[in-house]
Chains A and B, each alone.
Chain A
Amino acid sequence: MTAMTKVKGLATAASFAATLLVGGVTYASAKEVTLTMAVPDWPPTRIMKKFFDEQYKPKSGNTVKLDVDFIPWPDFYTRVNASLTSGEKKYNFIVSDSQWLGAFVEGGYFRKINDLIDADPELKATMESMHPAVLNAYSTYPNSTPNYYGFPQFPDVLVTYGRKDVLCNDDEQAAFKAKYNEKLPCTGEEIDAMDWNTFEHVGEFFQRKKGDKLAGQVLDDDFYGIAYQAGKGYDFSTSSVHTFVWEHGGGIWDETKAPTGHAEGVVNSPKSIEGMEHFLKLLKYMPPVVKTGTMDIFVSDQLFREGKVAMNIDWIGLGEASLDPKTSKVADKLVFGLAPGLRGPDGKVNRTSQIGGQPFVLTTWTTPEQIKEAVGFVKWWLSPDIQHQFAAAGGQSAIKSVYSDPKYVTYRPWDRAWANSLDWQKDMWHVPQFFELLTQQQDQYDLAITGKQDAKTTLDNIAKFQEDLLKNDGLIQ
């Protein structure tokens, strides 16, 4: 070995080591554009990536690459937040809960898209084709102003999951009729018409002990009528409490009325307290885990799939697992309907609900070249054809022409409840203080849910905290 080859060998080894250590170095040709995207790891985003690779990429002449970082749900916020706030500037697109908008817009991370919409009639049409509730929730900051930031990735609403085999059983039907003098909801339509009273009756009626009979069968474990999120984590009781507060005519602090709107007197108004008390009343019919404060959307879903409850109110986004016989013991017994509402004195059912799902947003450091491709990608993604395919594969669409197509309800059993639900969706705060508001509120709700304080004290505490905090930050005068 000559000295020269030695040196060469060393250099090769060193560069090899460097490549190994520094990892995934990609050499992009000049024409290629890579869009990097941070997404939670679950089917709606996997489908998006799949469609992109199968359809958009070839169409673009293989010059656009979508580099997707699938991050497990539990750590998604932590990862995204750290990436953004540290100035890592890694992602062009980020799937974001609508409530995070304020914090990240104020920080200068999320890009306002009004200029893009104005400059591109096609995009403008796309945005207009969206259901206004969804557009409002997912796109605007400050909430409900014409300042746009996001596009729907996976829109979501709460619906009622039911078990046909239990609900439609003749003996149970008769017994229910005898006890409450009303029909036990069995079909989708009957569930659509269900109000909270009936839902409560279902809860009371189906509380069975091990050894009791259910639909003619002897139970080998305790059984419960209803399940609904009431957990301490993230927004797992806020989503349900807000629904009740709104339906009873109460309110939460309304950021669209800032700076004159108050928290004190609104959050803890008699109507709000009434709503919260109504929600708390339902808890005693739910499986025992609710008393631990950990009944989140996944736990109630799991109880339903394992056949421990007759009805569950949950996000559509968790529905696929119920359909899959491998993960669901009730896969062949499913019935879906709207989430219940509050029947007013006039007999009409009043419904207002917390919206779910996520938009995806552009970041401010995305280059003009990337933006050009990004707009193309968004238009493609929100085009009726792709949205149909998405819905058919298990996603949801907020594009009017898509969800109002008669074909739409055939994709999944819960799709029959989708279009109607959109009309009464509302969102909570988009302000940067979102997490502070949410955390304190969740802590207080948890105390009420686990029976440590009553609804009034809870809402008084929340109101006082919000009033103080928001005054301090200038959002309340």
Chain B
Amino acid sequence: MAESILGKLGFGRASGVDKAGWGRTLAVAVVAFIYFLPVLFIIFTAFKPQGDALLVPPTLSPTSLFGLIPDHFVFKPTLENFGSVFSRSMTPDGAPEATGFDRYFFNSIFIASASVLLALVIGTLAAFGFSRYPLKGNDTYLFIILTTRMLPAIVVIIPVILMFRVVGLSGSYLGIIMLYTAFNLAFTIWMMKSFFDELSPDVEDAARIDGSSGMRVFFKICLPQVIAGLAATFVFGLILTWNEFLFALLLSGPDTRTVPVAMNQAVSSGGRGTDWTLLAAIETLFLIPVFLVTFFLQNHLLRGVTFGTVKR
């Protein structure tokens, strides 16, 4: 009995090409929905009127679903909070003023994508180097690179701030982008190296014999084969960079501040603790770009990860 349940779950036979029907969809939908609930609650909170955020019992749904849900669990959805993200009154009885969040969103998108792409470029070159021209003690170097991810950011922050000040990078885009690039490099190099390791060397050798230069081999032969890996690395890097907080707090200036830092505006909102609906609205908006990127690169994501690590 237990075994047949295990079997049905796919415990033994778990192949991606295996087909299952709508029954499976239903079962997984229940689990996925429960898993998603805390996020859904945040998204719903973004649509609640400000005073409804802390009602007891909590309001759980924007609609009564034709009377299915009792009235005291239903809230009246509003878009007001999304407006407040960008413009609201900052002083008692004051007129609404711009909060700067348009800038913060732009900063987040610009900084995250620029640094992840830069890390991808530099890291892919390095990964190719590590993979094709292994040095003596290659593994040691790679491990040292990994250790840069192991220390809490707080340790390096003072020298970095000092460095930025003298070079004039504090509060600039370039500084924070370079820092994030370094922050992403370890992961990028580890991922991309494993992809290059998996490539069959035959084609490259053939291309070399045909007289292609190293650059040509890299761009025309190797790179196209690791597109999925690049996509997977991009998504992982994006997710990790998107929500980075400490470096952003300490190294960005008022003009280059990112959303995770500015988000605390809503956590301690104008001297009155958490503005729940505002925080939810910011988070909901902030979720959209990375959600879309992940969704559209989803297929690459699975393929990329697999490709990189099969046979390891």
Contact = CB atoms under 8 A, between A and B. Distances in A.
State if A and B touch, Cβ cutoff 8 Å. Answer: yes
Interface of A: 20-24, 41-44, 46-47, 50, 69-70, 72-75, 78-79, 82-83, 85-90, 220-221, 298-299, 301-302, 305-306, 317-318, 320-321, 323-324, 326-327, 329, 393-394
8 contacts: A21-B177, A23-B172, A47-B94, A72-B264, A83-B161, A305-B272, A327-B50, A327-B272
A24 B91 contact: no
A87 B173 contact: no
Contacts of A20: 173
Interface SS majority for chain A: helix
A47 B171 contact: no
Shortest Cβ-Cβ A-B pairs, 9 listed? A298-B273, A72-B264, A321-B272, A86-B161, A73-B268, A42-B271, A21-B174, A24-B255, A394-B92
A220 B161 CA distance: 53
A73 B174 contact: no
B272 A301 contact: yes
A318 B56 contact: no
B23 interface: no
B54 interface: yes
A22 B51 contact: no
B210 to A, nearest CB: 36
Interface string B266-287: 0110111111000000000000
A90 B158 contact: no
A321 B51 CA distance: 12
A317 B271 contact: yes
Interface stretch (B7-15, B131-139, B246-254): B246-254
Nearest to A329: B51
Contacts of B56: 220-221
B79 to A, nearest CB: 16
Contacts of B91: 43, 46-47, 50, 393-394
Interface in B145-183: 157-158, 161-162, 165, 168-174, 177
B174 A86 contact: no
A88 B273 CA distance: 30
B256 interface: yes
Nearest to B110: A20
A72 B161 contact: no
A78 B168 contact: no
Interface residues of B, number: 41
B264 A43 contact: no
A82 B273 contact: no
A89 B165 contact: yes
Nearest to B159: A86
Contact of B165 (A79, A88, A301, A318): A88
B185 interface: no
Interface in B78-115: 90-94
A69 B265 CA distance: 13
B262 interface: yes
A320 B274 CA distance: 14
A27 to B, nearest CB: 15
Contact of A46 (B94, B171, B263, B274): B94
Contacts of A83: 161, 250
B272 A320 contact: yes
Given A41-B265, A72-B262, A89-B165, A78 B249 contact: yes
A318 B162 contact: no
B261 interface: yes
A50 B51 contact: no
Contacts of A318: 271-273
Contact of A298 (B90, B92, B274): B274
A315 to B, nearest CB: 8
Contacts of A89: 165
Contact of B268 (A23, A72, A326): A72
A44 B271 CA distance: 9
Contacts of B253: 23-24, 69
Nearest to B272: A321
B261 A75 contact: yes
Nearest to A88: B165
Given A73-B264, A306-B54, 12 more contacts: A42-B268, A73-B268, A82-B161, A86-B162, A87-B162, A90-B171, A298-B273, A298-B274, A305-B272, A321-B271, A323-B92, A327-B50
